[in-house]
A and B are shown apart, each in its own frame.
Chain A
Amino acid sequence: DGGITQSPKYLFRKEGQNVTLSCEQNLNHDAMYWYRQDPGQGLRLIYYSQIVNDFQKGDIAEGYSVSREKKESFPLTVTSAQKNPTAFYLCASTLNGGSYNEQFFGPGTRLTVL
C-alpha cells in the first residue's frame, strides 16, 4: 500500500540530546513537509523540500535540521538548540510542491523531552 510512515510513534529524549524523526513515503511524491502541532495551535511548518537535495525553512525552523538525500525520505533532527521540543510532529507529502495539492500525512511522532 502506498503511504507515509513515521517512526517512532512515541519518542522520549533527555534535555540536551539531539533526536532524529524518520519520515518515508512510497507515493513517488516530489514534495515533503514537516509540521509541528501544539495544543490550541494549527500545524506550523518547520521545513519543506520540493525536490531531492533541496529544502527550505518554514516558519519555525530554528533548532531543527533536515536532509533530503532520497526522494522517499525526509528525516527531521530536533537539536538541543530547540527550546521547547515537546510536541506532536507530522510529516506530509504532495505530488509536487505548491498550495493546490492535497497533502498526505503520516501518523505522526509524539516527542517528549524529559
Chain B
Amino acid sequence: DQQVKQNSPSLSVQEGRISILNCDYTNSMFDYFLWYKKYPAEGPTFLISISSIKDKNEDGRFTVFLNKSAKHLSLHIVPSQPGDSAVYFCAAGYNNNDMRFGAGTRLTVKP
C-alpha cells in the first residue's frame, strides 16, 4: 500500500532551468512533508519540509508547494545546477507515526 507516490522515476533538465519534482499522497491524515536528497553510495539527507498549515516553504533555490485538496506536493529547484543531480525522495507523516517515503525521482541536470 503505497501511500506516497512519485510517479516520475527520472527527470532531466538543463542547467539554469527549473526542476519540478512531484509527489502525491493518499492518506489525508498526513500533515508533515519532507524532501530528502540522495547521492549514490550515501544515505539520504534532509532538504526541506512543510507542514499542512502552509502551502509554500522556501529555502534558497528550493521551494516546496503543498496542495492539500489535491493531496499533491512539489519541489521546485531554481536555477538547477549540475550538483543537484541526485535522487529525491518525498516523505509524509502525521502525529507520532512513521514516515512514509516515495520511490524517489532521479534528477539529472545537464551542463
Q: Is A99 an interface residue (CB 8 A)?
A: yes
B61-111 CB contacts (< 8 Å) to partner A: 89, 91-104
Known contacts A98-B95, A99-B96, A100-B32; A42/B43 CB under 8 A: no
**Interface residues of B, count at CB 8 A:** 30
Checking A42, A48, A91 against B4 with a beta-carbon cut-off of 8 angstroms, the contacting residue is: A42
Q: In the docked arrangement, what's the CA distance between A13 and B1, Å?
A: 30
Q: Is B9 an interface residue (CB 8 A)?
A: yes
Task: Give every chain A residue within 8 A of B36 (Cβ-Cβ).
Answer: 103, 105
Q: Binding site of A, secondary structure by majority: helix, strand, loop or mixed?
A: loop
Task: Give every chain B residue within 8 A of A106 (Cβ-Cβ).
Answer: 43
**Interface residues of A, count at CB 8 A:** 27
Q: Is B2 an interface residue (CB 8 A)?
A: yes
Question: Nearest residue in B to A6 (C-beta to C-beta)?
Answer: B43
Checking A9, A41, A44, A90 against B44 with a beta-carbon cut-off of 8 angstroms, the contacting residue is: A90
Checking B9, B49, B89, B100 against A102 with a beta-carbon cut-off of 8 angstroms, the contacting residue is: B49
